Structure 1
Amino acid sequence: MTDPRVQDPTEEGLWRPLRRLQASMDADIARIYSGKRITGLKPSFVMELLRLHARGPMTITELAESVGRTHSALSQKVAAMRDAGWVRTVEGEDARSKKVMLTDQSRAVVDRLAAEWRATEAAVAEIESEIPYPLSRVVTDIEQALERKSFHDRIAEKLAQDPAWD
């Protein structure tokens, strides 16, 4: 049984609405795919598929660098994309690397995915024109604030003031 006097810090979440918004928008994109009978495709796969289409096969490291992700994160994503049939991997130039390439399944829809990407960017631009403070500006402002003091340093300062952290 939970002690009613214990406060749950997860009840607070300033960025939770942003995560819900992103999930809702991704769900709407997934509905667009479903309407064109593109099944099993996560919106989070599309950037990598479009990048592979534009640049050709790449190692996981090359692909990770091109989309601004870590090797570890992209390795996991490539495994999920491979399991879903969107990419395949072959041995790279040395035995330690793997080349990632599109499958016939992804090549069959990649032009549609590019069209969706363009339409999504246009829709986001439309939304940003309707609000007084665009999200892209918020991101830039947060990045500038983090250049002045890192997120790590901000958290560490707060923890130094919290006796529970000792």
Structure 2
Amino acid sequence: MTDPTKHSRWRPLRLLLAAMDEEIGRLYTERGIEGVRPRYVMPMIRLGHSGPMTIRELAEDLDVTHSAMSQTVAALRREGLVTSVPGADARTKSVELTERAKELVPFLEAEWRATERAVAELEEEIPYALSQVVRDLEAALAKKSFHDRIAEHLE
């Protein structure tokens, strides 16, 4: 039996997205911004606008799992970008940006807008807009989930 990872429809998409994230990360490095990865940017910007939030609130607001946000917050904490503060009651803790992170937010917002413009530019260069691909995939997956499609092929 042949190695199925040698010919993949899924892998090129994952590699492309990873390469694009790497290029964004390179912009941070070129500007002397250490310890910031592209996956940190959305929560940092949101915290910059909303102020302290619990991990649950942040996860819900950004439409990711609690587990994924918990891991991201732990990474942000290791990089000195967030700190925990007491929440609304004694049982909760909120996450807030450190002063260093607050200083980075204006650049991160500018990078976000520049990235959006770069994606729009790419969409002009290709025959099928990336945003349309996403909408079409979402519509197809609404009819039949990715889980169900994979499970069907496992049987």
Coarse TM-score class (shorter-chain normalised): over 0.9
* Structure-to-structure mapping, 1:38-53, within 5 angstroms: 38-53=33-48
Instruction: Give the CA deviation at 1:33.
Output: 1.0
Three-state SS of the structure 2 residue aligned to 1:58 is coil
State how far apart, in whole Å, the 1-side matches of 2:131 and 2:73 are.
28
C-alpha change, 1:8 and 1:96, in structure 2 (3 Å) is farther
Match runs of 1:95-106 below 5 Å: 95-106=90-101
Q: Is the 8 A contact 1:86 1:103 kept in 2?
A: yes
Deviation of residue 136 (structure 1)?
1.1
Instruction: Provide the rounded CA distance (Å) in 2 between the counterparts of 1:153 and 1:26.
Output: 29
Q: What aligned pairs does 1:138-149 form with structure 2 within 5 A after superposition?
A: 138-149=133-144
CA-based RMSD = 1.3
Question: Cα offset for 1:152?
Answer: 1.9
Give aligned pairs, total. 155
Indicate if the aligned counterparts of 1:60 and 1:97 stay in contact, CA closer than 8 A.
no
> 2:107 matched to which residue of 1?
112
Which sections of structure 2, spanning at least 5 residues, go unmatched? none
What's the TM-score once normalised by structure 2's chain length? 0.94
Q: Percent identity?
A: 57
Gaps of 5+ in 1: 1-5, 161-166
Cα deviation for residue 69 of structure 1 reads 0.4
Cα distance, 1:95 vs. partner? 4.1
Greater C-alpha Rg:
1
Alpha-carbon distance between aligned partners in 2 of 1:65 and 1:159, rounded to the nearest angstrom:
32
- Match of residue 93 from structure 1: 88
Equivalent of 2:72 in 77, 80, 88 = 77
